[in-house]
Amino acid sequence: MNQLNISIGNEIKRIRQERNWTQAELCQGICSQAEISKIENGRNSPTVDLLQQLAERLHTPVSSFFINENKKTNFRMIDQEIIQLTRLNRYSEIFLQIDQYLITETDKEISILLRYHKLIIEEKTNIIDYRTCISQLLNITAEEKLIEESFLLYLRIQMSIAILYTNYGEYRHADSIYSMLFKIDYHTVEYKKMKLKILYNYIRNLIKQKDFSAILKETETAINESNHLDDLSYLGHFYYQRGYALEQLNSSLELIQEVYTLAYGIFLATENTSFATILEDHLSDVMYFSLKSI
């Protein structure tokens, strides 16, 4: 059975029940009750026309049938759990947890997510070297046709390969991955936010290569794009990266102060204490203010 048909069926059923309707009430004049029952169970793939009629009857946009909330939540939960454990360096626990999930998990996307996390941590704990890790990650992106099946996960794995290259001094290799990623179109807000994350790591790679004028150009784009999307995730970092490039290029003190101060203001506002503290401790002479001195 096709996962999409199942999730569409589930959504139709969920919305119908939310409205306290029977199957007969929903399908009257549209299709037979046997058919609606098959659709709700994911055993039939509905046509576009039929979906439209059901949506109109339920007074909901057709697109609402495609939002599979349960799966999204589950994916996010597992992802967050592993990220959290990684931050705490509880690696043996992560391996146990991942293997446990892999045995029971039926969703393809979540399985790939788990395999990806496992490879990253195996590299981190020196079970495998970074080259092996990269080639295995590349296998995942290629063999599963990941770019078509799960675009966000594809981007994330490609980015993690580029980050590994950066960490091991292979900046050119990293660059070629980034330039490939920047050729792709990012159609939705979610994708565009992912692009900001890629940009952040790309700029880190530029810093390693001391290409400061490129950093000025890229941070400007990244800041404008963050503002356009009203997205705070990397804005402070982009100002920080820009401040660093300005410093290295011997720009005017005024400009450097302005940019570092903005980075600091954003870190304070977003309660990113660790970065705010770094700025207070190391850069207070090139900032307009610091809360530490009050």
Partner 1 sequence: MMKSLPHMIGNEIKRIRKEKKMTQKELCDGICSQAEISKIENGRNSPTIDLLQQIAKRLRVPLSLLFRDQLESDTFRETDNHLSSLFREKKYQEMKQELSQNDATHHNEILLLKAYFSILLEVKTDKIDYRTASTLLSRLTDREDIWYESPKMYIRIKMAISNLYAENEQYHLAEKVYEELEQLTYDTEELKKQLIKIYYNHSQLLTYEKKYEAGLKITEKGLSYSLSLNDASFVAHFYYQRGYFYEVMMTDDSSPIQRDYTIAYALFRAFHLHTYEEIVLKGKERFLLFTF
Q: Which residues bind partner 1 (CB under 8 A)?
A: 2, 4-5, 8, 15, 19, 45-49, 51-52, 58-64, 66-67, 69, 147-149, 151, 184-185, 187-190, 223-224, 226-227, 230-233, 235, 239, 258, 261-262, 264-266, 268-271, 288-289, 291, 294
CB 200 within 8 A of CB 237: yes
The span from the CA of 153 to the CA of 159, in Å, is 10
CB 107 within 8 A of CB 71: yes
Question: What's the closest the beta carbon of residue 197 comes to partner 1, in angstroms?
Answer: 11
Select from 209, 287, 208 the least CA-distant residue to 255.
Answer: 287
Question: What's the closest the beta carbon of residue 254 comes to partner 1, in angstroms?
Answer: 9
Distances (CA, A) of 262 to 118, 242, 276: 37, 11, 11
Question: What's the closest the beta carbon of residue 123 comes to partner 1, in angstroms?
Answer: 28
The span from the CA of 69 to the CA of 214, in Å, is 40
Residues 6+ apart with CB under 8 A from 283: 243, 260, 264
Question: What's the closest the beta carbon of residue 262 comes to partner 1, in angstroms?
Answer: 4
Whichever of 134 and 263 has its CB closer to partner 1, that residue is 263
Whichever of 3 and 97 has its CB closer to partner 1, that residue is 3
Question: What's the closest the beta carbon of residue 237 comes to partner 1, in angstroms?
Answer: 12
Whichever of 66 and 182 has its CB closer to partner 1, that residue is 66
Whichever of 98 and 287 has its CB closer to partner 1, that residue is 287
